[in-house]
Amino acid sequence: MTKIRQILLVMLLALFSQGLNAQNGTEALVQNLQTANFSNLLVYWDNQVEVNLPDQSNQKQYTAKEANEMLRVFFNKNNILGFEKNAERKVGTTVYLTGKLLSGTTKFKITLLLQVNKKELTIVSVRVS
């Protein structure tokens, strides 16, 4: 009976630490969005990312550098001053992060779809509306 308890305890600790790593990763990601630090944000992008921005007619796959540059240009063009996190939800290895982009005149909502791979968190999709 104690062997089973030990195994369950180890499994619970492993699951808890994976969830904690994802949460710590999202907090760093949120901080980079709040400060519009695109050089630090570059490491979070997946190899292929779906990007959907208001000035685009359809969503498309982009490389990490292209997606990072598109978001940087969007921030600059629309005078985005920061990011305010609304919600974060984890389902399996997928994390949904939603929030508002803070701008002087126009209000934008942003949704990020993140994937937890081993010990890293990657952005696989970004949608701004």
pLDDT of residue 89: 94
Torsion 54-56-61-66 (CA) sign: negative
pLDDT tens-digit series, residues 36-72: 999 999 999 999 999 999 988 777 899 999 999 999 9
**Longest distance between any two alpha carbons in the chain, whole Å:** 63
pLDDT above 80 (res 129): yes
- Residue 27 pLDDT: 92
Q: How would residue 7 be classed by pLDDT, with cut points 50, 70 and 90?
A: low
Structural domains counted in the chain: 1
Stretch 98-119: mean pLDDT: 91
Domain that holds residue 72: 2-128
| Euclidean distance between CA atoms 26 and 35, whole angstroms | 14
90 burial level (CB within 10 Å; 0-12, 13-18, 19+)? middle
Q: What average pLDDT does range 75-93 have in this prediction? A: 92
CATH assignment of the domain containing 50: 3.10.450.50
pLDDT band at 20 (very low <50, low <70, confident <90, very high): very low
* Percentage of the chain exceeding pLDDT 90: 65
